[in-house]
Structure 1
C-alpha cells in the first residue's frame, strides 16, 4: 500500500488532463505512476510528471449525458469522450449506487469485444486502476477507474467482424510466432488492424475447460509475449509493448471479476496480443540483449530512470514474469531492450 499518498496526488494531477493528446496519442501518466509507486520508485513520480504533463491536454468537455437506456448508441464514438468520462465518474464517484466491482462486472463484458480500442491502452489503464483500488479505495483511484472505462467506451473498437480463426500450435509462444503479419505496415494501428483477415485460435485450440484454467493460460500468454518482445521489439519497440501489457492487464483484473467473465477475458486478451503482434511483426527475430547479472528489480529502476512510459510499463510486466521465472534471462532482456530502443523521456 502507498502510505505516502504519492499515487493519489499524482492521479489528482492527471485527472485534469484527458486520456489522449495530439488527436489520438494515449495519456500513459496514470499507468506509469501506478507502476512506479507500486515498484518502489514513488520518490521520483512528481518530477517525472513535471516532464510528462507538458505534452498533455485538458480533460475534454462534456456535452450530452450518456443515457443508461441508450449507452450503446454512444459506444465507440470518440466525440463523446467527455460524456463517457462524466458517465463513469457519476457511476463510481459522484453518485455511486453500486460498489466499483459491480460497475466493473457490468461494463467489462460490454467493453471486452472492443479490447483493441485505443491500441489496447484503455484496458491497460483499467488494469492499473484495479490494482490501485485493490490496495486502497478512495476518490482518486475510483476516478481513475472511471477515466479508464470512459476512455475504453469512447474508443471501443472490435476487430474485423469477418476475422477467421485458424488452428494453431498448442503453446502460446508457438502461437505468437505463427501470427502472420499484416500486408501494409506503413501507417498507424487502425489501418493495420483493418487488414487482419485471420489469427491463430489459441485459447480454444488449447481446450480451456473452465475458469480454473484461465489464470494459468493468461500467465502463459504474458510470459510468451514478454519473451517475444525480447527478440522482436525492433518491429516497433513502442507498440509491441502492448502485446504483453494488454493480456497482463486482463490477468491482473481477474480476481475482481466474476468467474463467469474469466474465459471471455482470456479469448479477448489473446485476440489483442495476437492483433498487435500481426500489426507490428518484423521480418524476423533479432538476438536478445543480454542483461548480464542485472535483476528484474534493477532493470525496472533503469526503466524508471530512462523515463519513457512504455519502458516503465514493460519493465513492470517483466517483474511479474521474473517472479514466476527468476532465472529467465530472455524475459529480463525484454526490459533492457525497451530502454535500448525507445527514446528516453
Structure 2
C-alpha cells in the first residue's frame, strides 16, 4: 500500500489543529493510564511526596465527582478546543430556546468512536454553547471507571464530566440550581462497535434508564443528533455473529469499556493511524419534550415517553438529513 504523506507546505493553522486533535485522542485513549503509572512511579522517586499529598487530597475529595464535579471555565474556554473544533470542523445548531429555569436531559446520538461532537459541544465552549443557551450548564456523563484514575479525574471534572451512574445524575437534577442539563451518550460504549462511515444504527430500543431518570426528576428530554460523527474513523468489519464481535462484546461486559478496532490517518501521513479524518460534524439540538415529574413512574409511563422520544429523534434526523448529504433513503435504525 502506497503511503500518502502530508505536504510540507501545510499552513501553521492546520498544523496546530492537528496537534490539538492529537492531544485529544491521546487524552481519550491513554492519559488515564499514564496518570496511574505516574502516580505509582513518583512513589519510588525523590518526588514521592507529590503522590502522598495527592493521595490525601484524593481521599478528602472522593465524593466530588458524584456531587457535580468541579468545572473550570478557564479550561473549557481554552484556545486548544477552538483548534480542535476547526480541525473537523464542528458546529452546534440550535432549533429552539431552552428555559434556564428548568432542567434537562440531552440524549446525544450517535456515540461514534470517540464522541467528538458531544465532547466539543458540551465539555468546551468552542462552539458557543453558553451564547446559544444562556443560563444552561451542561454536564457530560462518563463511565465511573475513569474517575478512579489519579490526576485524570481532576482533569475531566474541569470539563464538566461526571460519573454516569444514577446517583451522580440524580444529585445534580435534584439541586435547587436551575438550568442544569445532563448530556448522556445514550448508546454508550457498545454503540461504538457499530460506528463506521454511512452507519445510522442507534442502540436505543432497550435504553430506557435516561427516560425514567427524566420522569423521576421532572427533567425535559432533548434529542440531539450529530451528523458526521460516524464518518471520522473506519473500523474493522465486525458484524453481529462474527468471532471478532463476540470477543469485543465479551470484553465490553467484563471491562465496561468497548474496544472498537478503528483506524483513520496519521499525523504526518494520510494512509493509516488513529487521528480522525477531517470530516465536518454538525450537532443539531432538538426541541425539548416536556416531562411531568413522578418519583415512582410505571413501566407504561416510561415506555410511552421512550416511544415519544424515539419519534422526536427520528423527526429531527429526517428534517435535517438532506442538509448534510445523507441520502433520502437512509433512515435511523434502532436496535
Q: Same fold (TM over 0.5)?
A: no
Larger Rg: 2
Q: Which has the higher helix share?
A: 1
TM-score by length of 2: 0.26
Query: Could you say which structure has the greater relative contact order, defined with CA pairs below 8 angstroms and 6 or more residues apart?
Result: 2
Q: Which has the higher strand share?
A: 2
TM-score by length of 1: 0.26
